[in-house]
């Protein structure tokens, strides 16, 4: 964890601050959001073809979990490192490089004839995602005009809508036409390259002397080190709760529906889309509400508030399972934007590192969680996995240890 103190960091650790943008730059926000939509569509496409890959390659649930681990763990390890590096040396044109890497990964998955090739393709997709998120999140904040929660929510909702589109592409294109059609869908990444090239050009302009001075600036009035460490630790515990549960849904919900209610893969994908669409809608609300009422209140509700619905879900019939998945997705999704902006405000000079850390932790929890839950499912049943995961939102009680807005302001003023 980065060292935080009440004095300026040494000169060897220089963080560049781009020129402040006074108004919200919607064209750039929509461009980076579109890039996030395509990035996460391609990731969700991989998740959504698990039933197909499992049948074609005779995979166990544990092997399915390790496919998720291959791309999530790559992103988990690399994102904080990339974010830390770009805090010191921003690299705007890494944005179009990211979807190009994902394109290669999807082509490999589409043409894979072995489990090993699938893992290689998944890893390349993870590398593309790890390059994309830290700089894209920083760019969303830069273009926000001070509306940080709104910008992060818009950015996140692009990713979540992309995640919800993935199952539909799998259900209506990949399942009917087979594994090879995945490679053709990688053409979406070419569109992302074009869109993100525009965003990268704007970003580079605001890092140049002409667009605004590129200069080093230590964080103003850093918060007490103990407060920062405690708050980040609580946020990471809440992230564990949120993303382990969402990993169970994204990786194994279709299998749960098929095993418990006898649904076909196509029917299960449509139900997964309903959950993911609710997740996307919740993301859109979390940031703006946090801008108005405070991020702690949103964080508190968005984790603990899902508990009544998650506890009931394993006992519901098919109709009520789908209905319950809607508030679960909506409530859980509202957390991440608020958590990320809260953390960025704890360490304002380390936007890239914090963004990379939080995206990386999210991917890492999903990676390890998918592998662990897949192993548990093989040893017991997919239904048992959903029973044990139903209590994870109870960890949301830890939100009581987060300082509120007034406490943060007082501590910063004392600096």
Token pair of 235 as six digits: 């946020």
How do residues 219-271 score in pLDDT, each as one tens digit?
Answer: 456 778 888 888 888 888 888 888 889 888 888 899 999 999 999 988 898 89
Residue pair 240/254 in contact (Cβ under 8 Å)? The answer is: no
Q: Which residue has the tokens 């060292």?
A: 3
- For residues 317 and 241, what is the distance between their CA atoms, to the nearest angstrom? 25
Could you tell me the pLDDT band of residue 328, with boundaries at 50, 70 and 90?
very high
Q: How confident is the model at residue 25 (pLDDT cuts 50, 70, 90)?
A: confident
CA separation for the pair 324, 334 (Å, rounded):
16
Stretch 314-336: mean pLDDT:
91
Instruction: Give the residue ranges of DSSP H helices in 143-219.
Output: 148-169, 175-177, 181-185, 188-205
Residue entry with tokens 């990713």: 159
Q: Average pLDDT for residues 184-195, to the nearest whole number?
A: 87
Residue 286's pLDDT is what?
A: 67
pTM: 0.64
- Give pLDDT, residue 263: 92
Number of neighbouring beta carbons within 10 Å of residue 210? 9
User: What pLDDT is recorded for position 20?
Assistant: 55
Fold of 16-213+222-414: Growth Hormone; Chain: A; (1.20.1250)
pLDDT tops 80 at residue 293: no
Average pLDDT, integer, range 294-314? 86
The percent of residues in the chain predicted with pLDDT above 70, rounded, is 87
State the pLDDT at residue 90: 82
Mean pLDDT of the chain: 81
Contact status, residue 141 vs residue 344, Cβ threshold 8 Å: yes
CB 207 within 8 A of CB 90: yes
Q: Which of 36-40, 151-155, 399-403, 404-408 has the lowest mean pLDDT?
A: 404-408
Two tokens at 54? 């499992």
Residue of 148, 139, 249 lying closest to 195 (CA atoms): 139
Q: Please tell me the predicted confidence (pLDDT) of residue 85.
A: 82
Across 132-150, b (16+ Cβ under 10 Å) vs e yields bbbbbbbbbbbbbbebbbb
Pairing between strand 215-216 and 16-17?
A: antiparallel
Give φ, ψ of 230 to 5 degrees. -60, -45
- DSSP H or E stretch at residue 363: helix 351-379
CA atoms within 13 A on the CB side of 151: 25
């Amino acid at each position: 964890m980065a060292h935080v103190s009440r004095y300026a960091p040494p000169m060897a650790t220089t963080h560049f601050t781009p020129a402040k943008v006074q108004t919200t730059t919607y064209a750039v926000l929509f461009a980076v959001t579109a890039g996030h939509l395509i990035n996460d569509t391609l990731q969700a496409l991989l998740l959504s073809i698990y039933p197909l890959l499992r049948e074609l390659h005779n995979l166990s649930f544990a092997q399915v979990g390790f496919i998720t681990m291959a791309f999530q763990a790559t992103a988990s390890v690399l994102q904080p490192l990339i974010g830390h590096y770009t805090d010191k040396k921003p690299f705007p044109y890494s944005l179009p490089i990211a979807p190009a890497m994902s394109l290669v990964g999807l082509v490999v998955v589409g043409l894979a004839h072995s489990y090993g090739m699938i893992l290689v393709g998944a890893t390349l997709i993870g590398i593309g995602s790890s390059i994309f998120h830290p700089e894209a999140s920083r760019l969303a904040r830069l273009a926000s005009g001070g509306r940080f929660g709104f910008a992060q929510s818009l950015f996140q909702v692009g990713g979540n809508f992309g995640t919800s589109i993935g199952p539909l592409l799998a259900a209506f294109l990949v399942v009917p036409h087979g594994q090879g059609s995945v490679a053709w869908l990688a053409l979406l990444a070419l569109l992302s390259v074009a869109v993100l090239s525009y965003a990268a050009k704007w970003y580079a302009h605001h890092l140049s002397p002409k667009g605004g001075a590129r200069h080093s600036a230590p964080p103003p009035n850093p918060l007490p080190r103990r407060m920062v460490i405690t708050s980040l630790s609580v946020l990471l515990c809440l992230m564990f709760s949120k993303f382990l549960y969402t990993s169970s849904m994204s990786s194994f919900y279709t299998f749960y529906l098929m095993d418990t209610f006898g649904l076909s893969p196509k029917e299960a994908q449509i139900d997964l889309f309903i959950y993911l669409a609710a997740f996307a809608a919740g993301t859109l609300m979390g940031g703006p509400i946090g801008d108005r009422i405070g991020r702690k209140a949103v964080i508190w509700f968005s984790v603990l508030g899902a508990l009544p619905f998650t506890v009931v879900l394993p006992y519901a019939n098919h109709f009520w399972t789908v209905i319950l998945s809607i508030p679960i997705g909506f409530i859980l999704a509202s957390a991440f934007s608020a958590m990320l902006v809260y953390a960025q405000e704890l360490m304002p000079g380390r936007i890239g590192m914090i963004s990379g850390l939080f995206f990386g932790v999210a991917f890492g929890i999903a990676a390890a969680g998918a592998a662990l839950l897949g192993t548990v499912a093989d040893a017991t049943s997919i239904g048992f996995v959903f029973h044990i995961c139903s209590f994870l939102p109870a960890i949301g009680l830890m939100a009581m240890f987060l300082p509120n807005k007034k406490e943060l302001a007082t501590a910063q003023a004392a600096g």
